[in-house]
Amino acid sequence: MRKEKILEIINNVAEELEYMIYDSSIYLKGENSSIRVIIDKLEGIAHSDCEIYSKRLDQILQFEDILPNYTLEVSSPGLKRKLRNMEEIKRFVGSPVKIVYYSDDIKKVIKGILQKVNEEKIEVLSDNRKLFLDYNNIVNAQLDY
């Protein structure tokens, strides 16, 4: 029950401050409880965004008095963020990526610049050649700054 309430607060604060929740985790261990939240927004996340979100979340958690003691960590997805779905992949067209994919049942890796994306295929420019990948063959995609 406490976990659900904390998740609700995490999401409400993100909505209030116009952030997206990329990921969150809650570990309830008495005096050693911890809350970790990764926030995002379309324009990217700065250190000040993490600070603003952290202060507001901490304020609400203390007011609600759900946990007697906890550590709170707020961060961004980072420069090597995982691109978890087509929406996130589309968002980063023009960015350097590392993609693990299957080609003829063989796992391969490509690094390059994400050029184009549609619902079925992804175009990556690597070593001055274009590679077209079926979205369904992608095992893992991440930014590669």
Residue 80 placed within a domain: no
Report field, pTM of the whole predicted structure over 0.85: yes
The residue among 67, 86, 50 whose CA lies nearest residue 9 is 67
Q: Is 132 exposed, middle or buried (0-12, 13-18, 19+ CB in 10 A)?
A: exposed
Which residue's structure tokens are 């958690």? Answer: 61
Same domain, 107 and 51: no
Q: Which two tokens stand for residue 120?
A: 């079925």
Choose between 69 and 51: higher pLDDT. Answer: 51
Residue 81 placed within a domain: no
Whichever domain contains 71, its CATH number is 3.30.70.1350
pLDDT at 66 over 90: no
